[in-house]
Amino acid sequence: MSDLRDQIAVIVGSSSGMGRAAAVSYAEQGAKVVLAARSVDKLEELATQIGDDALVCPTDVEDSAQVESLIQKTIDTFGRVDILVYATGTNIPDRSLENLSYETWNMMISTNLTGAFHCTKAVLPVMRQQKAGLIIYLSSGCVQSPDVSGVSYQASKCGLSGLAHGTFKEEQANGIRTTVIFPGLCDTPLVFKRPTPTPPEVMAKALQPQDVADACLFVATLPSRTRVPELVLLPAGL
């Protein structure tokens, strides 16, 4: 394993939770990190914490033009993109089929899956030119063990697997690798969007965002001759 010195990492969804933890960890290992999310204030606060190795790029992943601008700004500033982490994800309290509307379904798919496609589509040209690149998608443990997180959430997170594995098959000859990480219950703000609060004794056993960041770091610091197609990360006590 190596550090990330001189690597350029775009962290999409870095304003909170797993994405924020990944951005800090990558910067600590020497990477220059591009912070992307919709919350400008949170990104600027994080950039202040990280220092000169952080670039703030407010981005709404549902807007393909904004995503293209994010990647172009990264190239204009640093000249390349070595790693892209897609950590953006959301859920809704009214997630049952009985309550799910066409509008909320479209919003969930757009944020959790289409946004990942926008980022993939935008970053591939520079990675092809470099003949190297790593894309990490943060999915969910509900892909392996379906639960009551809602069909829109589960469908979007399952879709990330198809996007990741299909991208690798098409881009393998260009030196582009993909990984899907499937975290189980994690203590992030997304938990507060559950229709019923999770008991404190359960949350006490949940993963922490840093655990997922460490998994992202592990994948990124492996030699480029290696690939981790999937990584399942679950709480040991649940």
**pLDDT band, residue 232 (cuts 50/70/90):** very high
pLDDT in tens, 69-93: 999 999 999 999 999 999 999 999 9
| 1: in domain | no
Is residue 26 flagged as an active site residue?
Answer: no
| 49: in domain | yes
| Domain tally, the chain | 1
| 126: in domain | yes
In sequence order, the 6+-apart residues with CB closer than 8 A to the CB of 100 are 94, 150, 151, 152
In sequence order, the 6+-apart residues with CB closer than 8 A to the CB of 42 are 15, 16, 20
Q: What's the whole-number average pLDDT of the chain?
A: 96
User: Residues 26, 86, 137, 153: which is the catalytic one?
Assistant: 153
pLDDT of 22 > 80? The answer is yes
Tell me which residue range forms the domain holding 136: 8-233
| Of 76, 91, 237, the residue nearest 152 (C-alpha) | 91
CA–CA distance, 91 with 111 (Å, rounded to integer): 9
| 168: in domain | yes
pLDDT in tens, 41-58: 999 999 999 999 999 999
Average pLDDT over residues 147-167: 96
| 238: in domain | no
| 45: in domain | yes
CA–CA distance, 234 with 37 (Å, rounded to integer): 26
Given a contact cutoff of 8 angstroms between Cβ atoms, the answer to whether 220 and 9 are in contact is yes
Q: 228: domain CATH number? A: 3.40.50.720
pTM of the model: 0.96
pLDDT value, residue 1: 60
pLDDT in tens, 173-227: 999 999 999 999 999 988 888 888 889 999 999 999 999 999 999 999 999 999 9
| 107: in domain | yes
pLDDT value, residue 185: 96
| 2: in domain | no
